[in-house]
Amino acid sequence: MLTIDFARFPIGPGDRVLDVGCGSGRHAVEAHRRGATALAVDLDEVALKGITGLDAPSAPILADGTRLPLPDASMTHVILSEILEHVHQHQLLLAEAARVLVPGGRLAVSVPRWFPERVCWLLSKPYHQVAGGHIRIYRRTELRRLITGAGLVLDGHHHAHGLHAPYWWLKCLVGVDRETRLVRHYHDLLVHEIIHGPWPTPALARALDAVVGKSLVVYARKPQ
């Protein structure tokens, strides 16, 4: 399941892509599939070992995103997908992303959208009060300010995963650790969407993303 729209964030052969806080590495693997050299960075060694589909020179790297072991201006693209909301030093993370980008390089950032996330926090404390959980909720204006504060130029935004917000509201209502029949059926719907494409149609899926998309995605460039 991709959160970044690669039509808006084009990647191809010769590009050098850094996926910070990569988790399962889904964006790094997609960048590698498109011909780029992709580095998947995370502090979770178990998650990194589970990544498949990255062949040299692409690679998983165990590292702290606020202290990247990379030279200045070494990457053409940087992805920060669903990671800023977990990091206390989020400004430093964005500064490191800007540092390693080449002039003209592109950044993609995604975070939980304010309204869907706020509903989850109101419905359930265990949803976010866990080790390594979400420590803040971003409004779009705040995220844009942080990105421009790192010296980058904004280049558009959109929302993603419209079906996911109601799913997490349901999980928060019944208990994030409980798996009821309704939760299982909803999960099956999400799996169907991942495998078969936008549900029920691409146009309706885009409309749902705009209204209740769970993720806010912002794109930016490093000035030449």
pLDDT at 87 (0 to 100):
96
The catalytically annotated residue of 82, 96, 179, 193 is: 82
Please tell me the number of Cα atoms within 13 Å of 82 on its side-chain side.
19
Q: Is residue 100 part of a domain?
A: yes
Q: Is residue 43 part of a domain?
A: no
82: annotated active-site residue: yes
Q: Is residue 52 part of a domain?
A: no
Is the model more confident about 199 or about 148? 148
Q: Is residue 178 part of a domain?
A: yes
Residues 6 or more apart whose CB falls under 8 angstroms from that of 80 comprise 20, 21, 65, 93, 94, 97, 107, 108, 109, 110
CB atoms near residue 18 (< 10 Å):
29
Radius of gyration, alpha carbons of the chain: 17
The verdict on pTM exceeding 0.85 is: yes
Per-residue pLDDT band at 48 (split at 50, 70, 90): very high
CATH label of the domain that carries residue 106: 3.40.50.150
Domain that holds residue 199: 64-221
Count the domains in the chain. Answer: 1
